[in-house]
Chain A
Amino acid sequence: MGKIPKSEHNDRRELIHLLHDIQEKHGYIPPEAIFVIARKLRITESEIYGVLTFYKGFSLTPRGKHLVTICMGTACHVRGAPKILDEFIRRLNIEPGKTTEDKQFTLETVNCVGACALGPIAITDGKYQGQLKTMDVAKLVDGIRDGDAEGS
């Protein structure tokens, strides 16, 4: 991994900022980063591990090439989000939080993105896909795969 970004203080209060920076840069927290942060902030590795596994925003495993996030907010729920999630699970053959074996897709859920007028929503690689129905899922997944095939 690269250099750890500079920070204002060299103690615990920088921990979450640092973890954000590393997560953003690498898509996950590489194990070797924990050691470096521990030295820099003078806290133990186990404390860092405790904090980073507590928060959903940090991950210890790399994500796939494409990130699919399904909004599971209440408005999306009553508009049928569980059916959309089920279909993504079936199509990608992974549970939420996991990455496909070919490292192409990571499936995640989020508690609400606050774009409730568009529910149910999936966010594929940062793009909002609104008012989804079960049968749109296949199109989305195939669309991403085809896009890759064309690009290669």
Chain B
Amino acid sequence: MSKLNVSSLDSLRNKILKKRKKDKTIVTICGGTGCHAYGCMELAEAFKAEVRARKLTNRVEVRTTGCHGFCERGPIVVIQPQEIFYQRVKGSDIDEILDLTILQNKLVDRLLYVDSASGEKIVEEKNVPFYKLQKRIIFGNNGFIDPTDIEDYIALDGYRALAKVLEGMTPEDVIAEIENAGLRGRGGAGFPTGEKWEICRGYKADQKYIICNADEGDPGAYMDRSLLEGNPHSVIEGMIIGAYAIGATEGYIYVRMEYPLAVKNITQALEDARRMGLLGDSILGSKFSLDIHVFKGAGAFVSGEETSLMASIEGRRAFPRQKPPFPAEQGLWGKPTNINNVETWANVPVILSKGAAWFGKIGTRKSKGTKIFSLVGKINNTGLVEVPMGMTLREIIFDIGGGIKDGKKFKAVQTGGPSGGCIPADMLDSPIDFDTLNKAGSMMGSGGMIVMDEDTCMVDVARYFLHFTQEESCGKCVPCRIGNRQLVDILTRITKGEGKAEDLKTLRSLASTIKSGSLCGLGQTAPNPVLTTMRYFEDEYIAHIEKQSCPALVCKDLIVYFIEPDKCVGCLLCIKSCPVDAISGERREVHVIDQELCIKCGACLDVCPAKVGAVSKYTGKKKTAVLKKSVKREKP
């Protein structure tokens, strides 16, 4: 195909739209990583084969799209244009979908989503409560786009914002528009994007760089990956506009190596864009030139920090360095560099095409627009949700997320990854934006929201995060390298019931040293999980230290598994499941756990039928009582 210019882009769009038959039924299958794990690719292949076998290719098209976000219900199939939403679709459902829905325009009832509140079956995707309350301005197109087909993006007005910019806007105009929109960086800290660009634009240099930070390392956050996998051109378009605004001619997308599909899709998208004249020399026939490369990370969490990321691109260890000079002045290879996160870049074309005023109406006074969160953990509707800033946690977790799994009680939600904190139940009604989260001692981070229920031990969670940061600390700053190690050691001791009265004081003082004595964000925020859990859940720490008790019944050393004699029906299930043969008993007789042999793996609790519920966990005084009893039984 020949290279596009501003006017031929429009005619190409019209051509694509005309080419697409309006009467064709399109079966879209979610191709996100979540659905991949459920086997969506095999499903898509089987669908295509069946359509071919039935000679329906003229009427039906099967497309694998970007992530739809509702991972809990995958594999997801949406029939367009009717928007019929089928969930948990299996290969064996294909015949019925073709017979009923495609050929007779009837529904396959059992594949529809059932609203747990009303018990009603819901047909259209947009009416499923999970989607209904969202505002999907960035993420919404994912479900309509085959990420490997640039025509899909162009058909949905893709690259129109870029054409508008190159045709009639100066770099200053672009920066002003982003500033007026009030866009703040979605990578975590929330720095105003327009201001960042303006600073970088202000430095004169023979070469400037732009970088897209896709080193999404926060465990439990995967919205950036979904954007790169599902709608890569929106990120590329944002980057081209940004590069034009600051005057950069070369760019990098730094992707985490754990995201192979994202690497593949973004690499192909760059090639397609280059081929069509949307990247490379004189983009869309203008005087502006830019190329973008993909850089695959190598498995270091610290490389998400901007100065470390640049060191990594330069082929060195991902060590952060002192700021200032900020990357805007001296970044990659010492040249002015502007670095933004994936979601920030994806916001740019939307703002340019719909206008700063439109964007500014969404969100709160100081946090504009939407934010994509990954809602995971002990939640019914695991998935990616995009909501306007300022929505309350309660709306996100209960109305969109469908509440807590298995009817358990909500305890806390962890935001901001290893740099963030745990927010307790009494703050469920606070609106979520950059500033309220900071005030609560947490942060927005990249948007992970890990929901925790009553069965989650907050000391264990703090230990988990500190173990994480301690392993990922690059080792450059002593307070981070050694201090975090000390924090983990103390927390581990506490979870083993060996806590000391002065531990809480030591944790606090160490935390403040680490925060003030570390160079980069990793160290400066590493103690946050400890500080917030101590702030909101100090009673759990005290129970561990003073009573050797884990109220959530998680910490292995502080609990025992016990078979209740009055409930056990002697079904042998737990005996068969026990990997260390610690349970004894005959059929229809009460089974007994040998506490000496038990490794507390929980297999017996997993298999004991819910209606029997004979396996209990005990901690503290009750644990001591169980242990005493079991000793007595051994010595009759």
Q: Which residues of A contact B (CB under 8 A)?
A: 11-17, 19-20, 50-51, 54-58, 72-75, 77-80, 83, 86-87, 90-91, 110-119, 121, 128, 130, 133-135, 138
Contacts and interface: CB of A to CB of B under 8 A. Distances in A.
Interface string B141-185: 000000000000000000000000000000000000000000000
A51 B316 contact: yes
A108 B72 CA distance: 26
Contact of A80 (B37, B316, B602): B602
A134 B221 CA distance: 25
A74 to B, nearest CB: 4
Contacts of A119: 376
B87 to A, nearest CB: 12
Interface stretch (B189-197, B346-354, B377-385, B477-485): B377-385
Given A74-B417, A134-B602, 5 more contacts: A12-B316, A54-B300, A78-B456, A80-B602, A117-B34
Nearest to B217: A111
Contacts of A113: 33, 258
A147 B55 CA distance: 38
Contacts of B33: 113-115
10 contacts: A11-B315, A12-B316, A13-B315, A57-B297, A74-B464, A90-B579, A91-B579, A110-B258, A112-B217, A119-B376
A118 B37 contact: yes
Contact of B607 (A20, A91, A130, A135): A135
B601 A117 contact: no
A114 B376 CA distance: 10
A80 to B, nearest CB: 7
A138 B376 contact: no
B606 interface: yes
Given A73-B220, A90-B599, A113-B33, A57 B298 contact: yes
A133 B259 CA distance: 25
Contacts of B595: none
B335 interface: no
A83 B602 contact: yes
Contacts of A12: 314-316
Contacts of A130: 37-38
Contacts of A87: 579, 601
A78 B554 CA distance: 10
A112 B599 contact: no
A118 B34 contact: yes
Nearest to B472: A111
Most A Cβ at <10 Å: residue of B316, B378, B465: B316
B599 A116 contact: no
A58 B317 CA distance: 13
Contact of B452 (A14, A16, A57, A78): A78
B393 to A, nearest CB: 17
A128 B37 contact: yes
Contact of B468 (A15, A56, A111, A121): A111
B259 A116 contact: no
A17 B295 CA distance: 8
A116 B222 contact: yes
B577 interface: yes
Contact of A115 (B34, B468, B474): B34
B298 A79 contact: no
B219 A135 contact: no
B450 interface: yes
Given A13-B313, A113-B33, A19 B298 contact: yes
Nearest to B223: A114
Interface in B220-254: 220-222, 225
A16 B602 contact: no
Going nearest first, the 10 A-B pairs with the smallest beta carbon separation are A114-B222, A56-B299, A55-B298, A116-B376, A73-B219, A128-B37, A57-B299, A112-B219, A117-B71, A117-B382
A113 B38 CA distance: 14
A19 B577 CA distance: 44
